[in-house]
Structure 1
Amino acid sequence: MKSIFFVGKGGVGKSTLSATAAWQLSRAGHRVFAISFDPAHNLGDIFGLSLSDAKATVDANLDLAEADLDRAAERYIQKNVDILNQMYSYTKAFNLDLYFKVLRYSPGVEEYAALTVLEEVFRTETDYDYVVFDTPPTALTLRILALPNIAVTWIDRLRRIRREILRKRYTIHNLSGKYIEGGVQLPYKEEDDEVIRQLSRLFKQYVDLYARLRGGDNSIAVVFNPDFLSRRESERIITGLNDLKLPLRAAFDNKFTREMSAAADEVENSLFGAERSIPVVRVPFNGSGKEDTYRMDFDITAALTGQETHTWTDQA
């Protein structure tokens, strides 16, 4: 399964190009799943559908969905409450429900909720040839894409701390012998410790996800318009992707008209220089405003798949 992320400033046309790419790939015979992480609901509006986290079928080769990040956050928090309640059921010292009720509003929860949805898509939707991601505005997108690597670093540190706890337990056990009657014997071996098992499971999960995002089957396309604000936002995106070592495969200068040629030249040269290592595609402005704007004549997929450019007029 291959994946494509369309990233960029709000309003540049990420949703339109995501929808167009998904439709064109499906018309070329590929099984495609397009999912939006953008709370603006544009992907559904473009197809004239009200999307949710349950799949909606457009045709035999194309399914759509919209990630419900609020619901995902609730599931993420509840799952962690359940795990901790299970691990620490021997003590009544913690009122975990009380603490976790406020976590829904804590910084980072939305990003981790989105990350769990992203990981689930890669793990479960393997029947598709392509998954197309319509992303939220730049800052949230970059935080989501950065989280797998950050999570790996933190989990590795937590595992080392937990191993130190287990070693100290083992020392105390050897000194004190058996625990008092009626007490709870805490594990001191890694293979018996549920915390280590959970941390190791998460570590592998995020290592695999980060490898997937960096791999050859993943493509990230930056979408921008030929204007100053769009250029500055795209600069931040490109810098962020370079820092994360994630693959920028193509750039789309969207809503282009001939009158904008000079501005487009300036923006493109500023972002990518004269010698460009990735394809920079100028997508003509479509001012029709129709719901079926995804039925674009212009081929979006060629720059992302390495295939020859197609004409889609006869297939619309």
Structure 2
Amino acid sequence: MKKIVNKQIVFFGGKGGVGKSTSASAFALTSARKGQKTLLVSTDPAHNVGDIFHKRLSGNPKRLTENLFAIEIDPNEETKRYLDGVKDNLKGLVKAKMVEEVHRQIDLAGSSPGADEAAMFDRLVSIILDEKGSFDTIVFDTAPTGHTIRLLTLPELMGAWIDGMLKRRENLNKNFSAWMGDGEPVEDPIYDILDKRKERFAEVRKILLDDELTEYVFVLNAERLPILETEKAVETLRKHDLLVNTLVVNKLLPDVEDSSFLRKRKEQEKEYIQMIDKKFNQQEKIFIPLLDGDVSTLEALDRISEAMQEELFQ
């Protein structure tokens, strides 16, 4: 039995077009049919999960099948929610005549590079911390590789950034207290807000680093470019202590005898599978066949789920 089935949080990542959404959806469906209350979360702006299940999804959990619920996170909505939260935190801390200008600056920041990732990260933190008590398994279908890496490494980076902010606020408060001459601690709501965020980030990072709770799965095809990109991604995440222990090798060709074209493709595929085994000898592998049609119906997803179930529990 593959270790992945015992994890509470599972991230699916990989190069665009390799079948991440299909693999994540099939795994979530398999988990749900094993009696696990499962939440499938799409952080990919392209959002294929709703299309696969023929359901209109939003930022709130919606039931897809028995034991299976799903969320599609809209980056624009999350950015707006994130900025509104920043504005709320500043209420009462900014002079009335400055509020309009502060809000304008915050809105401008919303269009800056990285704002949507910060908002998505904030939502990811909320889902992990606030939803994990309600679900047995949470499955994340992430955007293509680069975005996934940035999202998963943000807890470490944001934690370091907040540490710096807290130290600056602390020094500022000490100087202000000394200037006042009474030595009494200064009440600082901003410091308290930052400190609470630091605690949440630290809690999420602890969960992301706990290989008893969390699994990272990369999906790839038996082709050169996906193999090389996966190798780089696995190494990058390892540097941040995030270990990818499972690979889904997707869209494997059937064995054929009556087509020279397919026989040649199959021989080439075997060479790439050998490359995968050599480069990723520490990872468990799940091999999924190529279907004879698009995975655009629940019946087709069932076939992927069944193939995955055989691999997971062998």
Shared fold (TM-score, shorter chain, > 0.5): yes
> What amino acid sits opposite 1:169 in the alignment?
F
5+ long unaligned stretches in structure 1: 178-186, 310-316
Say if 1:218 and 1:247, in contact at 8 Å, map to a contact too: no
Asked whether 1:224 is paired with 2:246, we answer no
Say if 2:21 and 2:141, in contact at 8 Å, map to a contact too: yes
Mapping for residues 175-214 of structure 1, pairs under 5 Å: 189=185, 192-214=187-209
Could you say which residue in structure 2 is the equivalent of 1:181? none
CA shift for structure 1 position 94: 7.6
Mapping for residues 201-280 of structure 1, pairs under 5 Å: 201-215=196-210, 216-257=212-253, 258=255, 259=263, 260-271=265-276, 273=278, 276-280=281-285
Mapping for residues 1-316 of structure 1, pairs under 5 Å: 2-89=8-95, 92=98, 95-125=101-131, 126-174=133-181, 189=185, 192-215=187-210, 216-257=212-253, 258=255, 259=263, 260-271=265-276, 273=278, 276-289=281-294, 290-292=296-298, 293-296=300-303, 298-300=306-308, 308-309=313-314
Q: 1:222 to 1:167 in 2, by over 3 A?
A: same
> What amino acid sits opposite 2:155 in the alignment?
P
Q: 1:275 to 1:18 in 2, by over 3 A?
A: closer
Q: 1:265 to 1:99 in 2, by over 3 A?
A: same
Say if 1:235 and 1:271, in contact at 8 Å, map to a contact too: no
SS in 2 for 1:106: coil
CA shift for structure 1 position 95: 1.5
1:128-186 CA-partner distances (Å, limit 9, x unpaired) = 11011111111111111111000110111111111111111112111xx7xxxxxxxxx
In terms of fraction of residues, the more helix-rich structure is 2
CA shift for structure 1 position 44: 0.9
Say if 1:254 and 1:284, in contact at 8 Å, map to a contact too: yes
Q: 1:229 to 1:34 in 2, by over 3 A?
A: same
CA shift for structure 1 position 91: 7.0
CA shift for structure 1 position 294: 1.6
TM-score (norm 2): 0.86
1:91-121 CA-partner distances (Å, limit 9, x unpaired) = 7398201211212211111111111111111
SS in 2 for 1:92: helix
> What amino acid sits opposite 2:199 in the alignment?
K
In structure 1, what is the Cα distance between the partners aligned to 2:307 and 2:244? 19
Give the aligned length: 294
SS in 2 for 1:233: helix
> What amino acid sits opposite 2:26 in the alignment?
T
Q: CA RMSD in A?
A: 2.3
In structure 1, what is the Cα distance between the partners aligned to 2:194 and 2:238? 28
SS in 1 for 2:71: strand
CA shift for structure 1 position 264: 4.0
5+ long unaligned stretches in structure 2: 1-6, 256-262
Structure 1 runs of 4+ with >6 Å offset: none
Stretch moving more, 117-126 or 148-157: 117-126
Q: 1:188 to 1:144 in 2, by over 3 A?
A: farther
In structure 2, what is the Cα distance between the partners aligned to 1:274 and 1:19? 26
1:193-238 CA-partner distances (Å, limit 9, x unpaired) = 1121111101111011111111121001000011122122212211
TM-score (norm 1): 0.86
In structure 1, what is the Cα distance between the partners aligned to 2:241 and 2:273? 21
